[in-house]
Amino acid sequence: MAFYDNMIDIDRRWIYLVLALAVMIPAIIPFTVPVAVTPEVNDIFQFVDTLEAGDYMFLGIDYDPSSMAELHPMCRAIMAHCFSKDINLIMCSLSQNGQGMAEQIIDEISARYNKKSGEDYCFLGYKPYFALVILTMGLNFRVTYPNDVYGVSLDEMPVMDGIRNYNDCAGVIGFESGNIADAWIAYANGRYDTPVALGVTGVMAANYYPYLQTGQLFGLMPGMKGAAEYETLFKQRLERLPEKDPSEDERMVARESMAYQTTSHIVILFFIIISNIGFFLSRKHEKKII
Amino acid sequence: MKRTLPLVIVFCSGILLIIQHFIPSEESEFLYTYALDWIITVGVYAIMLGIWSLIRVTVNKARRDPGERFYAITTLAGFSFMVLTGWRAESLHAGSIFMTAFNYILIPIQATIFSLLAFYVASASYRAFRARSALATVLLLTAFIVMLRLIPLGPISKANNWLVGWILMVPNLAASRAIILGVGLGMIATSMKIILGIERKYLGGD
């Protein structure tokens, strides 16, 4: 067997081993990767940043633990950004396990900024049939959610006083790992004309660029790279603040994780190059024989 | 009657909801809210049906196939455990049994399974991304350029980012839009066929 035949037929276990080793490199030798901010992420940041204290934002935390590596950091960054500006949040989860994901972030960020449920934010929790929930919330949040996730009536909450539907919120930002993203665009934006932005997994991103161009989305955060871009902008904002912000000393998880993503991508690209060199050499050799 | 009545209900509901969408008035909003309430109510019964179906299928599997018995019992045990520990509103607070099970069993399981995908993707891209033909070469180059976006390349990074932006906003957008429009038109056609009673497969039988 010629060496170029070996290049196109590497045992998959070697690929797994090299990839595992590559992922370990940033843990052993930590390094940072420069993050260039794209306009679609900057648009979301500017949208949130221009809101005033006391304004309302709606967050849809609709992803499962399988996508938490990509979506947790962006959700955390946006929630911290909102709370740092005293923006009130209304949140829901439209995937079964999204509620647990949301709980984790709400516990962490609300404690950091000393925000209280019912006073500064309202977490509505999970309800099945996401398209229906999105549609009914456009009429009145109380149709689907008479109580928040902890059983407190929305009418008894100071934060929900006078808040009826999406019209009372500046916009919706959904963190999505599935087709709930389409429902936010079709129903919240299409039916009720609510400004919608999405944070999606890397593999989903390409499907949502048409909506960005048509203005159905005011911003798009694709995968861990998008989260790292938002964290970069948030960090820059914190550095400009005259007073210390509770998030200043926190880890920027996505920015740190970009190092892991970079090494793994280099390995994948390396193997693609190897396989193509081997492929061309073997074809050249075959032609010579003919 | 058994087939005609559902067809009449579907026809009337479909036509009414189409009309109310184009006539914004208090009456049409009432009709819309009323219809959504109904759909949610029907949905709640569908969940009960789903739970019943899960239990029945799993129990039957455990009875018939001894090899599957362990997995069936695990499924039922997991289901019962999460229902029993999570039915109260307090169970969602940090430190509860439900949230502990969620944080320390479900999250690691799902995250681990999904992480394994990276290894399969690496192996699959090594085997699939080969310049076998002109079209395969286009695919290979596009994937290469998009993946390079995540790697710091100094002065080349800026040009590469611009190129990735162009790929996403021009060729990708054109193809995606065509697919979205095609799917949308297909959905309208299917909906019309259901409302007009031409498509009847949802009734069962033929």
How many other β-carbons are positioned within 10 Å of the β-carbon of residue B15?
12
Average pLDDT over residues A118-145: 91
Q: State whether A153 and A219 are in the same domain.
A: yes
Does residue A263 share a domain with residue A135? no
Asked if residue A126 and residue A15 are part of one domain, the reply reads: no
Question: Which CATH number goes with the domain that contains A156?
Answer: 3.40.50
Point out the residue among A8, A139, A265 whose CB comes nearest to the CB of B151. A265
How many residues are present in chain B?
206
CA distance B192 to B188: 6
- Which pTM does this prediction carry? 0.87
Both A198 and A273 in one domain: the answer is no
Strand A172-176 to A56-62 pairing: parallel
Report how many domains make up chain A.
2
What is residue A38's DSSP assignment? P
Mapped onto helix, strand or coil, the DSSP state of residue A37 is: coil
pLDDT digits (tens, 9 = 90+) for A215-251: 999 999 999 999 999 999 999 998 888 888 887 777 8
Do B133 and B82 fall within a single domain?
A: no
Helix (H, G, I), strand (E, B) or coil at A288: helix
pLDDT digits (tens, 9 = 90+) for A142-158: 988 999 988 899 999 99
Asked whether residue A20 falls in the same domain as residue A148, the answer is no
pLDDT at B118: 87
Please check whether residue A42 touches B, CB under 8 A.
no
A221-235, B24-38, B115-129: lowest mean pLDDT where? Answer: B24-38
How much is the ipTM here? Answer: 0.79
HSE (side-chain half, CA atoms, 13 Å) at A233: 25
Q: How far does B66 lie from chain A, in Å, by closest CA?
A: 31
pLDDT at A290 (0 to 100): 66
pLDDT averaged over chain B? Answer: 87
CA-nearest residue of chain B to A274? B126
Q: Does A151 touch chain B (CB under 8 A)?
A: yes
Number of domains in chain B: 2
- Looking at residue A241, what is its pLDDT? 85
Q: Which of B87, B107, B142 is the last residue of a domain?
A: B87
Please name the member of A66, A151, A225 whose beta carbon is closest to the beta carbon of B114: A66
Q: What is the pLDDT of residues A31-72, one digit of tens each?
A: 888 888 889 999 999 999 999 999 999 999 999 999 999 999
| Domain termination residue (choose one: B59, B87, B115) | B87
A163 shares a domain with A19: no
Residue A172: domain span: 39-250
Residues B1 and B77 in one domain: yes
Burial of B26 (0-12, 13-18, 19+ CB in 10 A): exposed
Q: How confident is the model at residue B33 (pLDDT cuts 50, 70, 90)?
A: confident
Tell me: do A214 and A280 sit in the same domain.
Answer: no
Q: Which residues partner with A199 through β-bridges?
A: A175, A221
Question: Looking at the partner chain, which of A12, A129, A139 has a beta carbon nearest the beta carbon of B40?
Answer: A129
Tell me, yes or no, whether A131 and A89 share the same domain. yes
Domain containing B152 equals 129-199
B122/A149 Cβ within 8 A:
no
Do residue A234 and residue A113 come from a single domain? Answer: yes
Give the distance from residue B167's alpha carbon to the nearest chain A alpha carbon, in angstroms: 10
Residue pair A121/A89 in contact by the 8 Å Cβ criterion: yes
How many A-B residue pairs are in contact by the CB < 8 A criterion?
146
Alpha carbons A146 and A127: distance in angstroms, whole number:
12
Query: Is the model's pLDDT at B131 over the cut of 80?
Result: yes
